[in-house]
Amino acid sequence: MPPTHLAGTTRALYRVFIQPSLQQAHASPLRTLRQPTPLIVKPIIAPPTRRHKSWATPIQDTFTVDENIRSTYINLVDEKGFHPACRLRNTLSGLDREQFHIVLVSKPNGDQPSPNDPGSLPTCKIIAKRELQARRKTKLKQASKQKSVLASGKQLEVNWAIDANDLKHRLNRLKEFLMQGRKVEVMLGTKAKAKRKATREEAAAVLDKVRDAMRECKGSSETKKADGNLGGVMTLYFEGAPAEKKADQNKE
């Protein structure tokens, strides 16, 4: 068979069998790819921050109240008067606890308080919560003030040859500072331009008066050994009683 005939036959076969399938393949559209659904991320909303006022912490930090009173029986003080040997649990069950607390006023006397001996029981009082909050706020202010006072020490200078009036003034200042609970350094010595120098007996008398003034302030103490020598340069170290300690001493 001539080559031209073969070529024509091949083209005929191509048109009959191959070309239609190719056209069909090109005519079939590709399946449209499905677009993914966009992911919607919801923002994380943090819960609102609860703010507390400085006085909103539990009053149990300052007072002993309710179940924290470790006694089965108490002496109770309310608006109607004094009620000895009351069972604490029963008293709490009849109390409007939304408005009031039972507050420890004085601790029990002895290791084994007994309802048969009301004098051995702790004494408690019914107090409104609002009043306790006000008391707590006052206590915190006083504690803060006392802390700042204690942080600021004082110094006093006393001449060994000081006259009686000036010494009295210095000792009054010393007692004032000690009653505030302050630390006080008393520096005793002789002024450079002093008209005269004190005798050893005079210096000893001044030293005794300074220490006597310190002892007049209840709860005050000499915190460490004095530096220096009698009649020369000497420093005394005193500290007054903090307000809380003085309050306890006054109760005694």
Q: Hey, how many other C-beta atoms are within 10 angstroms of the C-beta on 147?
A: 11
Residue with tokens 């005079």: 202
Please check the confidence at residue 16 and state whether its pLDDT lies above 80: no
Q: Which amino acid is at 223?
A: T
- What does the block give as tokens for 181? 């609970």
- What does the block give as tokens for 1? 């068979």
191 confidence band (pLDDT: 50, 70, 90): confident
Give the per-residue pLDDT at 21.
59
| Parts of the chain belonging to CATH 3.30.110.10 | 149-251
Give the per-residue pLDDT at 184.
95
Provide the greatest CA pair distance for the chain: 157
pLDDT tens digits, residue range 94-132?
Answer: 999 999 999 999 999 888 889 999 999 999 999 999 999
CATH of 149-251, one of 3.30.70.260, 3.40.630.30, 3.30.110.10, 3.30.1660.40: 3.30.110.10
Predicted TM-score (pTM) of the model is 0.43
Nearest to 157 by CA among 130, 188, 124: 188
Nearest to 123 by CA among 171, 172, 86, 175: 86
pLDDT tens digits, residue range 135-189?
Answer: 998 888 887 776 766 667 899 999 999 999 999 999 999 999 999 889 999 999 9
The whole-chain average pLDDT of the chain stands at 81
Residues counted in the chain:
252
Kindly report the CATH number that applies to the domain delimited by 58-135.
Answer: 3.10.20.80
> For 239, phi and psi rounded to 5 degrees?
-145, 130
Q: What angle do CA 155, 160, 162 make, to 5 degrees?
A: 85
Q: How far is CA 115 from CA 67, 106, 124, 166, 192, in A?
A: 18, 16, 14, 59, 71
Rounded to whole angstroms, how far apart are CA atoms 76 and 97?
16
- What does the block give as tokens for 45? 């909303």
Nearest to 131 by CA among 62, 46, 33, 47: 62
> For 138, phi and psi rounded to 5 degrees?
-65, -40
| Parts of the chain belonging to CATH 3.10.20.80 | 58-135
Residue spans of alpha helices (H) in 28-128: 88-93
